[in-house]
Structure 1
Amino acid sequence: MKVDILASGSSGNCIALTAGNSTILVDAGIAKTKIEKRLMENGIEPGNILAIFVTHAHNDHVKGLPIAEKYHIPVYAGEEEWKSIKIVSEELRHSVYEHGFLLDPEGRNDWFIVEPFKTHHDAYDPRGYAVHTEEHKVSICLDTGRVDEDILAAMSGSDIYIIESNHDPVMVEHSDYPNSVKARIVSQVGHLSNMQTAEALVQLVQGRGEKIYLTHLSSNNNMPSLALMTTVRQLMKKGFKQDTHYEIEVF
Structure 2
Amino acid sequence: MKVDILASGSGGNVIAVRSSGNTILVDVGIAKTKIEQRLLEVGIKPNEIDAILITHAHSDHVKGLPLANKYHIPVFASEGEWKSIKGVNEELRHIIDGNLLVSGFDVTTFNVHHDAFEPIGYAIVDKVGDKVSVCLDTGKVDSEMIEAMKYSEFFIIESNHDPVMLEHSNYPNATKARILSDIGHLSNAQTAEALTKLVKGVGEKIYLTHLSSTNNMSELAKLTTIRALAKKGNKVNEDYEIEVF
Counterpart contact for 1:8–1:215, Cα < 8 Å: yes
What is the CA distance between 1:135 and its match in structure 2?
A: 3.5
Q: In structure 1, how many angstroms separate the alpha carbons of the residues matched to 2:80 and 2:236?
A: 40
Query: Which residue does the alignment assign to 2:222?
Result: 228
1:149 corresponds, among 136, 143, 155, to 143
Equivalences for residues 85-100 of structure 1 within 5 A: 85-98=85-98, 100=99
Runs of 4+ in 1 over 2 A off after TM superposition: none
What is the CA distance between 1:90 and its match in structure 2?
A: 1.4
Query: Which residue does the alignment assign to 1:57?
Result: 57
Q: In structure 2, how many angstroms separate the alpha carbons of the residues matched to 1:20 and 1:112?
A: 10
Query: Which residue does the alignment assign to 1:74?
Result: 74
Counterpart contact for 1:168–1:222, Cα < 8 Å: yes
SS at the partner of 1:204? coil
- Give the gaps of 5 or more residues in structure 2: none
2:165 corresponds, among 159, 163, 171, to 171
What is the CA distance between 1:91 and its match in structure 2?
A: 1.0
Equivalences for residues 123-142 of structure 1 within 5 A: 123-133=116-126, 134-142=128-136
1:13 is aligned with what amino acid? Answer: N
- CA deviations on 1:72-110 (whole Å, 9 max, x unpaired) are 000001111111001212111111112x11124xxxxxx
Query: Which residue does the alignment assign to 1:190?
Result: 184
1:136 is aligned with what amino acid? Answer: D
Query: Which residue does the alignment assign to 1:114?
Result: 107
CA RMSD in angstroms, aligned pairs only = 0.7
SS at the partner of 2:68? helix
Counterpart contact for 1:21–1:48, Cα < 8 Å: no
Query: Which residue does the alignment assign to 2:199?
Result: 205
Q: In structure 1, how many angstroms separate the alpha carbons of the residues matched to 2:117 and 2:102?
A: 25
Q: TM-score, normalised by structure 2?
A: 0.98
- CA deviations on 1:104-141 (whole Å, 9 max, x unpaired) are 4xxxxxx2111111100000010100000123100000
Q: In structure 2, how many angstroms separate the alpha carbons of the residues matched to 1:151 and 1:90?
A: 31
Matched residue pairs, number? 244
- Percent of aligned pairs sharing the same letter: 65
- Give the gaps of 5 or more residues in structure 1: 105-110
Q: In structure 2, how many angstroms separate the alpha carbons of the residues matched to 1:88 and 1:157?
A: 34
Equivalences for residues 26-37 of structure 1 within 5 A: 26-37=26-37
What is the CA distance between 1:149 and its match in structure 2?
A: 0.6
